A and B are shown apart, each in its own frame.
Chain A
């Protein structure tokens, strides 16, 4: 720290002390002072100006991206305060928990401490302990063969077809035929007139009327 900084710091502390000594009402400026300041900002050049200033317009020029003036450090956002007071439910549970904890501690004090090698052992030691070897899973294999399964199964009555002796009903032997099966009604076919005139005559006669 330089001497200048020390002087400033001491002056600041002095001012803070003076402010603390001053009565509370003196901190706020009177209403007429504020009004006067608004009406004539030049009257108090040292006081912060309350006149609205036009906001700096943003331009999209590429040159403006080179930020010559360093941006102010980001103000840390104030988190909303959280009410840390316990809810009635928490308080009730806490009361019970405290009672349980007290009872447990009493019991622990009454009971003789037993040597528990595993508990007293160092945690790192326990962690280093190799995990118990898992039994190697044997490949799945049928316990019994399919044939033996069949042998184990209760013998089922096979659906054996009944011994059916078919009774054959033969038709009567054909008797001697007295007359032929085919009875010819007209032995001679009609004579066919193959002449053109006959064919024309037949075709005309076949024409529907």
Chain B
């Protein structure tokens, strides 16, 4: 066994005697069905407050960071993505993949549960995870009609979201971001 791979063994501890489920780090978790979680997330999206989802992402990011054999910035992206993907899979948030479009970093998530229409909840979750991993605040903007999220500075997230909503595809958005006008 090498440390370059995430070990999921024994990640969840079911204490049936006390009716508790804990993670390896000791945090108590609850197992929820997706049809229970979805309306809660939709309500959060409608009220415009996804802080709780982003907080959950930060917790997942912390779990990833603690699992990594070294600081994230000193490891290959593939290693970090492997660990992050494993943690997300453990929590049931789908399969994670990383793409690089020119200078833009894109996260693809497959097998997501159907939550909100614009996938803003998962965007908040990914934002929390990668902000913790990057040690910098980043925003993940969903690309409309795809399962991909582009990682941007939070200050331009709204603009990128507007481009996405207006129908710009990922290549166009990446081109706009790489143009000198954007910088």
Contacts and interface: CB of A to CB of B under 8 A. Distances in A.
A168 B175 CA distance: 18
A170 interface: yes
Contact of B101 (A166, A180, A184, A186): A166
A169 B15 contact: no
A181 B175 CA distance: 42
Given A162-B175, A175-B5, A185 B13 contact: yes
Given A166-B101, A174-B5, A190-B17, 15 more contacts: A161-B171, A161-B172, A167-B100, A170-B97, A171-B78, A171-B84, A171-B97, A172-B4, A172-B79, A174-B6, A181-B9, A181-B11, A183-B9, A186-B18, A189-B16
Interface in A155-208: 159, 161-164, 166-172, 174-175, 177-190
Contact of B102 (A164, A172, A181, A184): A164
A164 B101 contact: yes
Given A161-B175, A172-B4, A183 B10 contact: yes
B172 A169 contact: no
Contact of A169 (B4, B9, B18, B98): B98
Contacts of B106: 166
A183 B14 contact: yes
A115 B10 CA distance: 121
Interface in B1-59: 1, 4-18
B90 A181 contact: yes
A175 B2 CA distance: 10
Interface in A36-56: none
A189 B100 contact: no
A86 B14 CA distance: 119
Given A177-B9, A180-B9, A184-B14, A168 B169 contact: no
Interface string B62-103: 000000000000000111011011100010000011111110
Interface of B: 1, 4-18, 77-79, 81-82, 84-86, 90, 96-102, 106, 169, 171-172, 174-176, 178
A162 B178 contact: yes
Contacts of A172: 4-5, 78-79, 82
A169 B90 contact: no
Majority SS at the chain A contact face: loop
Nearest to A187: B16
Nearest to A160: B175
A163 B101 CA distance: 10
A82 B162 CA distance: 81
Contact of B12 (A159, A174, A181): A181
A161 B17 contact: no
A89 to B, nearest CB: 69
B106 to A, nearest CB: 7
B108 to A, nearest CB: 8
Given A164-B174, A175-B5, A170 B78 contact: yes
Contacts of A184: 13-14, 16
A172 to B, nearest CB: 4
Contacts of B10: 179-183
